[in-house]
Structures are given as structure tokens and as C-alpha cells.
Amino acid sequence: MATGSPAPKHVPVMLQRCMDALAPAISAPGAVVVDATLGLGGHSEALLTQFPEVRLVAVDRDREALRLSGERLAPFGDRATLVHAVYDEIPEVLAELGIDQVQGLLFDLGVSSMQLDEAERGFAYAQDAPLDMRMDQSRGLSAAEVLNTYSHGDLARILKVYGEERFAGKIASVILRERAKEPFTTSARLVELVRNAIPAATRRTGGNPAKRTFQALRIEVNGELEVLDRAIPGALGVLAVGGRIAVMSYQSLEDRLVKQCFAAGATSTAPPGLPFVPEEHQPWLRLVTRGAELATEAEIEENRRAAPVRLRVAERIRAARSTDRRR
């Protein structure tokens, strides 16, 4: 896309559901809300539009996303502050802006629509493209470098853990054999290799057999789970009492981390049988959603990428115990 062209309009996942979830916390004048995953700016635009007195801080590790969203959000002037950062750096970003606490936080995890739709980024297995997959192309190993340099054990591990791939060992063996003939550079060759490595009976169900391998590589390249494991506690640490956090996860590993972190804050740490619960042992989070909420048929029809989403929302109900500030 040429520089200076307007940011393309897209329908953000579960847009109004997220706005409604955050509304009780960010409707008052002076509220600050953080969009932890700016992307093309759809959620941020809605936050600024529906809550005319809110101040937005939005971060993204993708410089092209920041450029496009900057054009989209320009009409809101200094109500929107966009920062090139990874979302585990939110406490540091806010500190530099002189902000101690925020009333709302929104995380839309995984790969953005822009990254999926731009073939040259290498995220989508349906198109032949360079095997990059870095959300920030200015740093880190590309997917091709991972494929061409990791040991069999490390490849099998990331495929099994991050991709939940049953045939991780077999696929890793084929990758090592094939890279010895010629290094991996583009996605089509990898897609075909994975397809041939998986038994025919398994290939007939579950969509493209390469999707788990691509998911695993993307998570590894961007350190997504490690970043998320730091990001949620860090975000909760800057959330004001009465503030809310909404997190949309697209796969079970992400959702499990979010669930565990929310549950820890919403659970009493007092020993069983006490006649009363001392303040330092009381929960400091309230789970707004019962478990994880899924997209409705209407939300999926509006944006098919909403199909796998799990939404969790929590509200801070009191100051955290000092022992809960684990990061």
C-alpha cells in the first residue's frame, strides 16, 4: 500500500461487545483507556467515538500498523497517543506519558487483519509468500530463520506446544531433511511439506493441515506467549479500582494464560475455615464474564475471524495485594 493512502476500513472483531464491556469503567470524564493491540485502529476509533471524553493510549509493535492507524485516528487530535511498543511494555509506556493508572484496557491478541491480508508478511498459509511472520520486521528471527536453524528437538517442541500438532516430530524430521537440500524461503513449499507429512485420513478433516505449523511458527517468532505472560499482570498493575480489562484470545494457549491470571486475582488466598477473610487475602478482581464468551452468529457473519474468539472481562474491585505484583 502506498504511503499516504487512507487506512482501509474493516470490521473489528466483537466491536460493540467490547465497547459495552468497557463502558462502565471509561464513560466518566478524564478516563484513560489503553488499546494494547492497535492494528488498523478499528477498536480505537470506536473507543474515541463512543466515549467522547476518553483519552486513548494505543500501542503496536508493527510500524506499518501505527502509520495506517495514525491516519485513521488523526481527526481525534491529541486525544489519541500512538506508541511503537509491545504490549508487555505498557507500564513503561504509561510511566513515560506521566500516567499512573488507567480505567480501561483492551487486548485483541494474535495476528492482525492487516498482517493476514498482506501476503508479503508470510502469515497466511493460503498464499505463497516470504516466510517472515515478524510483527515487528525491524527485529528478531524470521520464520525462515527458525526453520533453517533450529534443531529437531526445538522444532518438534514448538510445533507440539504452540501448534498443538500431533505429528510434530514427523514434521520436524521432514523439515530437517528438506532444508539440507535447500533452505526454506517461502510459504508454499512449507505448506506442501506439512500436507505430505500428515496422514491422509487426518488431512480430510480440520481445514488446512498447515495451519497448526504456521500458528506455532508465528508464536515462536514473536514470543507471543512469553510476552502475554508478562503483559496481563503488568496491565492489571496499572488498572485503577473500578477499571476493566477485556481480552480477546484466538487460541487455547492464550486463553489459558488469561484465565489463570484473572482467576488468581479473583480468588481468596485465605486458608480454608477462617471465620473471616483478612483484607490482604481478599480477591481484588471480579470476573465480569462467566468463563469465556464466544462470538454470536451475527458477530461471526460480520467478521468471520471472530469464530474462534474467546472474550474474558475482569474488573478491579480493590487495590492489589503487594504479593500479587509479580512483575
Q: Which three cell numbers stand for residue 248?
A: 480477546
Position of cell 495506517?
68
Is 60 annotated as belonging to a binding site?
yes
Is 150 annotated as belonging to a binding site?
no
Q: CB-based contacts of 190: which residues, under 8 Å, 6+ apart?
A: 125, 131, 147, 175, 184, 210, 213
How far, in Å, CA of 55 to CA of 218, rounded? 32
Is 39 annotated as belonging to a binding site?
no
Is 115 annotated as belonging to a binding site?
yes
How far, in Å, CA of 264 to CA of 24, rounded? 23
Is 42 annotated as belonging to a binding site?
yes
Q: Please give the helix or strand (H or E) that residue 106 lies within, else none.
A: strand 102-108
Is 41 annotated as belonging to a binding site?
yes
Is 162 annotated as belonging to a binding site?
no
Contact 306, 272 (CB under 8 A): no
Q: Which three cell numbers stand for residue 272?
A: 480454608
Burial 91-121 (b: 16+ CB within 10 A, else e): bebbeeeebeebbbbbbbbbbbbbbeebeeb
Binding-site residues for S-adenosyl-L-methionine sit at 41-43, 60, 87, 108, 115
Binding-site residues sit at 41-43, 60, 87, 108, 115
